[in-house]
Amino acid sequence: MNFLRKTNFVLATVLSLAAGSPKLARVSSEADFFSDMGLGPAVLIAFGALQLNGGILMVLPASRKLGAVLAAVMFLASALMLLSNGQTVFGLFSVVPVAMAGLAAHNDGWRSHSPEIEPNS
């Protein structure tokens, strides 16, 4: 189970970094999406910075939980934006990273809250 927690944590971290980077780079598809939502370039950059910072904070041991919560909130905001823009399938699929980051926050990254039970010899 510890392997699954670590894998989830790593994937949530990579997804957060990967989601924020194109926004900060002002990739045209991201800029167009935000423009279609009536949001300007400043919101695009702020959104990307928050997503990227969530991933960065998840890497640092002292701020893993904060980073995972930030990533979960930003993933949720993305999913809601997609759903409100009529992109139902992608919006629903985007709930998966919300759950992953939420689980990472709950599990606090690498640490397991339940002790491993060793079998009796």
**pLDDT single digits (tens) 8-55:** 999 999 999 999 999 999 999 999 999 999 999 999 999 999 999 999
Residue 116 pLDDT > 60: no
Can you read off the two tokens belonging to residue 116?
């491993």
Q: How far is 62 from 80, CA to CA, in rounded Å? A: 29
Q: Domain ranges in the chain?
A: 2-107
Picking from 77, 117, 115, the residue whose alpha carbon sits closest to that of residue 97 is 77
Buried b (16+ CB within 10 A) or exposed e, 30-63: bbebbeeeeeeeeebeebbebbbbbbbbbeeeeb
